[in-house]
Structure 1
């Protein structure tokens, strides 16, 4: 029904406007008596064989929702009814910020992709915490954290620490988002020495809590092998809990979209089917070269059960979807979980 009726309707409107409309629609329908049970009966698979134990956490199934969809943690309880095993909220920054000027979200229909330059638009730390206090405990929640756009380079770590300390009681794991191409002063966030400093500072803060939370790093799909070797070394040196591979790409090669269309869109991060092979390559390289020394969450271009299994076979322990969820609808989650069960 989604691909036949809803998607053509949704895709006839501006992507960002329909995103907010869809949120309202899910909120409203979830409040109608019986609808939550309908959603769960359609999409949720409860099977112990799908459980994954990583970072000291038990995931009901390995299919999660990537950061960027529920930035302000307003819909995670309702989204749990679509069959996800975990949901990552954010990216959250200390202060609320509007992000980049609109229009900043674009569909590449022929490529089954999306280009965005949202710029960490979110309502800020306090708003996220207010929403997370309503957590009904249906599934694991990840907190994706970043810096404010206007923050000076010498204060980047302070921003991450502020988010980390404030969210610590409300999320199950953390992701340091240092690879988004849509925020200013991006270069320092990719510097290995700075990453060691940032991770060390966050881990020190983590040790101040009675119960430590897992900390992961989200990396770009455009890294070359030398850069990936540095990531492997970084994880080993800092004892990070894992890596998310990968974020959006700045590469525009081999797209079906015309040069004119891409020029009209401008810069931004590319997600969806066009980055499927890139992210899988990164996953496989990290897994093989490190001899599976750390867990990997695979994300990027998962639009089918086959795409998901490809990521798992490459070395991913968990999966996340975003663009595939928009193009394929919630049935994708069930299809992936069914395929995993069939393989088990």
Structure 2
């Protein structure tokens, strides 16, 4: 239904208008008596094999929503009811900002991709608190934080700390995103942002995990350096990755790509690079630290590959634009089928072993 009817309808709108329409419909459903229950019946898949415990939190399933969809925390409970194991809001900045001029998000249907240069539009810290202070009713909520565009780079730590301090009691974990125009940040720059967060957390009664989000455009050396920070500091894990500036391998015509101009590319073209980065982090860290894999997950097979590469959890973003909410359901069902298939040989072996032993003990005639 989504591919035949809903997606063609949504694709008649500019992508941001379609996005606003979807959020409005989710809010509407959430306000109706039994609306969230209906979402659960239509989309959510519950099964014990889907549950994961990662950085001290119990997730109903390992499929989350990446930052950028529910920027201001407007429909967290509705998205959780629709089957997501967790929802990451943001990117939030201390002060509201409109982002870059529109149009600023563009579909590339031939590549199952999107180019975006939003400039982190959001309503700011105070608006986020008004929404996130409401009970989540079991939904796990992460918050992606970053500096305002007008904030000088040397003051980025102050912006992140302000968000961290004020949202600490309202969300379950944090993801730190730093500007990636120059992707190869130094260790000192990264620790300058993270250390104040570690210091504040030490004085709190509740522990909030801190993740750091890496870019596919970072060099392997920078990825290794960030992984070493993960190993050597109280950082809890890494989110890998977000959009790339690269345009390699696109099927869309050059005229279309040139007309769109600059921006980060996300979707199917990002799959291979994201998998490679997750695998690199997993290997270098010995598989001992949480990784959230995101970027180019468009099918259940992509999700399987991300888990095999070392991800503990995954997030969807562009895949939802092209596949709709059924993608969450399909991935959950694939994971259940994989778990049952893996358990079947073990059960068969257990039932066959006594018969084999009996035959071995029977004397030959």
Q: Are 2:328 and 1:333 aligned?
A: yes
The answer to whether the 8 A contact 1:188-1:194 is kept is no
The answer to whether the 8 A contact 2:63-2:328 is kept is yes
Q: Any idea what the Cα deviations from partners look like across 1:279-330, whole Å, max 9, x if unmatched? A: 0010111112221131100001111111100100010000100000111011
* Structure 2: gaps of 5 or more residues: 340-365
Q: Distance in 2 between matches of 1:56 and 1:225?
A: 29
- DSSP-derived class of the 1:187 partner: coil
Q: Are 2:209 and 1:214 aligned?
A: yes
- DSSP-derived class of the 1:326 partner: helix
- Structure 1 moving runs of 4+ over 4 Å: none
**Which structure would you say has the larger Rg?**
2
Which of residues 258, 269, 273 in structure 1 aligns to 2:253?
258
The answer to whether the 8 A contact 1:142-1:175 is kept is yes
Q: Which residue of 1 aligns with 2:297?
A: 302
Q: Which residue of 1 aligns with 2:160?
A: 160
Which of residues 172, 194, 199 in structure 2 aligns to 1:204?
199
Q: Distance in 1 between matches of 2:175 and 2:289?
A: 15
> How far 1:202 moved relative to its partner?
0.9
Q: Distance in 1 between matches of 2:246 and 2:183?
A: 20
> How far 1:211 moved relative to its partner?
1.2
Alignment RMSD, CA only?
Answer: 1.4
The answer to whether the 8 A contact 2:117-2:263 is kept is yes
> How far 1:188 moved relative to its partner?
8.3
> How far 1:252 moved relative to its partner?
0.5
Q: Distance in 2 between matches of 1:76 and 1:16?
A: 19
TM-score by length of 1: 0.95
Q: Distance in 2 between matches of 1:6 and 1:341?
A: 27
The answer to whether the 8 A contact 1:222-1:278 is kept is no
Q: Distance in 2 between matches of 1:10 and 1:191?
A: 42
* Structure 1: gaps of 5 or more residues: none
Relative to structure 1, the CA distance from residue 31 to residue 234 in structure 2 (aligned partners, 3 Å threshold; closer, same or farther) is: same
TM-score by length of 2: 0.90
> How far 1:154 moved relative to its partner?
2.4
**Matched length:** 339
**Larger mean Cα displacement after TM superposition, 256-265 or 22-31:** 22-31
Q: Any idea what the Cα deviations from partners look like across 1:101-141, whole Å, max 9, x if unmatched? A: 11101001100001110001000000001001223323100
Relative to structure 1, the CA distance from residue 188 to residue 250 in structure 2 (aligned partners, 3 Å threshold; closer, same or farther) is: closer
Relative to structure 1, the CA distance from residue 122 to residue 271 in structure 2 (aligned partners, 3 Å threshold; closer, same or farther) is: same
The answer to whether the 8 A contact 2:111-2:250 is kept is yes
**Larger mean Cα displacement after TM superposition, 69-78 or 135-144:** 135-144
**Larger mean Cα displacement after TM superposition, 34-43 or 194-203:** 34-43
